[in-house]
């Protein structure tokens, strides 16, 4: 089983969001999709289902979903050290859908929902569109000096009912340490709030970092809902399958009171692909991690050459959060880079109105394509900042 980088022609021939909407001379590095072929066992599982015409409605009460719940529980015990109960597992189409359901089940109109800033855009949209108030806490760990005031302000909020934790964090790649998870658990207990943890990037963590699930924190376990998916690690986001665990029977029962059609919807192919990924593709994932680790090192080396570019290497994910505010690129960094160098990065403004001048770069691509992107990026910085490089 090999990790195979797709060519530009192969990527542009598809219909995915990342490559399907850019001009032929643009390299996209914005949407969180990988530029690698899907692992062979996943392709085989999908082909076999199509050959059998096995594309009907999944039976969510038994069969494949039950198999997936057991597989998720076994994999989590092996890789993360906490022990999900397969009977407390639900299968949804995607994590943002699950969050919307949790907001409806556990909060009321006007309640405050804590999220970290910068924030994955669909999360804030879900909170606001459902009539709740997003409460922004800057990304960081509990001991960070510049966060003390923000933490104190959060404690004073009267109607905090839900804490949304993206661990590892998108877009920064930050991994919250155990002390911070314990602090969030304490905050949830004091406000009698539910914790919703999105752990979709938890299988891409770099050497030297320990990534803990908040479900493993004893004081948070019974009030925590954890959702994950094979979508990001195995490049199958379009197949729609997410798996979640509920820390108590009460949480599970309240979630299940929502209409079934609102909280379900994983596809037959999504279920088959996820099972194949988690059963048979660990060696492919190991190769992906090695490639991403090399790409991350190259990115670190490149960013260190520029005087005014601020960059903290991500501890996890294949997403780089880059601060260009001190450069002369200006607030529309995305637009300038797109127009001047034909690379498309995610603008920081979509993660928060005050984050103009930041960009998110997806480095889940081939070495050659990353090298070309970095060459174009460097040329733009040098053009705007004079030479722009450190002496």
Q: What would the mean pLDDT of 168-188 be, rounded to a whole number?
A: 97
Under a CB-based contact definition with an 8 Å cutoff, are residues 336 and 384 in contact?
Answer: yes
> Which candidate, 293, 289, 315, places its Cα nearest to that of 139?
315
Spatial contact of 321 and 40, defined as CB atoms under 8 Å apart? no
What per-residue confidence (pLDDT) applies to 16?
Answer: 87
Give per-residue pLDDT as tens, 294-339: 999 999 999 999 988 999 999 999 999 999 998 887 767 878 888 8
Rounded Cα distance between 245 and 239, Å, is 20
Give CATH 3.90.1150.10 domain extents, the chain.
8-38+282-384
Query: Which tokens belong to 264?
Result: 């379900």
Segment 167-173 mean pLDDT: 98
pLDDT of residue 383: 79
Per-residue pLDDT reduced to its tens digit, 242-266: 999 999 999 999 999 999 999 999 9
In the chain, which residues fall in CATH 3.40.640.10? 47-280
pTM metric for this prediction: 0.95
pLDDT at 172: 98
- Bridge partners for 343 per DSSP: 27
- For residue 207, pLDDT over 90 is answered with yes
Cα–Cα distance list, 235 to 108, 231, 384 (Å): 35, 5, 35
CA distances from 119 to 38, 145, 163, 167 (A): 28, 21, 13, 12
Whether 388 shows a pLDDT value over 60: the answer reads no
pLDDT in tens, 69-99: 999 999 999 988 788 999 999 999 999 999 9
Q: Which token pair is 158? A: 């009267």
CATH number for the domain whose boundaries are 8-38+282-384: 3.90.1150.10
Q: Which long-range contacts (CB under 8 A, 24 or more apart) does 343-346 make?
A: 343/26, 343/27, 343/28, 343/29, 343/373, 343/376, 343/377, 344/22, 344/26, 344/27, 344/28, 344/29, 344/30, 345/29, 345/30, 346/30, 346/31, 346/171
Residues 256, 259, 263: CA angle, nearest 5 degrees: 70
State the pLDDT at residue 63.
Answer: 61
Residue 387 has pLDDT above 80, yes or no: no
Average pLDDT over every residue of 207-222: 95
Q: What is the CATH number of domain 47-280?
A: 3.40.640.10
Looking at residue 60, its pLDDT comes to 72
């Amino acid at each position: 089983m090999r990790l195979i980088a797709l060519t530009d022609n192969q990527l542009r021939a598809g219909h995915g969001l990342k490559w399907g909407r850019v001009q032929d001379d643009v390299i996209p590095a914005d949407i969180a999709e990988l530029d690698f072929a899907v692992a062979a066992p996943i392709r085989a599982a999908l082909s076999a289902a199509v050959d059998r015409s096995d594309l009907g409605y999944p039976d969510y009460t038994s069969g494949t979903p039950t198999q997936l719940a057991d597989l998720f529980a076994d994999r989590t015990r092996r890789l993360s050290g906490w022990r999900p109960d397969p009977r407390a597992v639900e299968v949804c189409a995607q994590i943002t859908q699950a969050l919307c359901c949790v907001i409806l089940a556990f909060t009321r109109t006007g309640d405050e929902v804590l999220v970290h800033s910068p924030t994955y855009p669909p999360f804030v949209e879900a909170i606001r569109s459902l009539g709740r108030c997003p409460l922004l806490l800057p990304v960081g760990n509990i001991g960070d000096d510049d966060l003390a005031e923000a933490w104190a302000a959060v404690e004073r909020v009267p109607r905090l009912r839900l804490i949304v934790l993206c661990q590892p964090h998108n877009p920064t790649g930050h991994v919250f340490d155990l002390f911070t998870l314990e602090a969030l658990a304490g905050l949830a207990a004091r406000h009698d709030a539910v914790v919703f943890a999105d752990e979709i990037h938890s299988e891409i963590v770099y050497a030297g970092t320990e990534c803990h699930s908040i479900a493993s924190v004893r004081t948070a376990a019974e009030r925590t809902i954890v959702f994950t998916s094979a979508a990001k690690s195995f490049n199958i986001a379009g197949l729609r399958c997410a798996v979640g665990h509920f820390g108590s029977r009460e949480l599970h029962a309240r979630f299940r009171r929502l209409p079934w059609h609102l909280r379900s919807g994983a596809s037959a192919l999504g279920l088959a692909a996820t099972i194949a990924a988690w059963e048979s593709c660990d060696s492919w994932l190991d190769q992906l991690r090695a490639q991403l680790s090399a790409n991350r090192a190259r990115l670190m080396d490149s960013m260190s050459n520029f005087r005014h570019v601020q960059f903290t290497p991500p501890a996890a994910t294949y997403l780089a959060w880059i601060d260009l505010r001190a450069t002369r690129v200006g607030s529309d960094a995305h637009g300038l880079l797109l127009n001047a160098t034909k690379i498309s990065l995610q603008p920081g403004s979509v993660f928060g109105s005050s984050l103009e001048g930041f960009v998110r770069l997806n480095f889940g691509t081939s070495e050659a394509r990353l090298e070309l992107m970095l060459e174009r990026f460097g040329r733009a910085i040098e053009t705007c900042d004079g030479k722009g490089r450190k002496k």
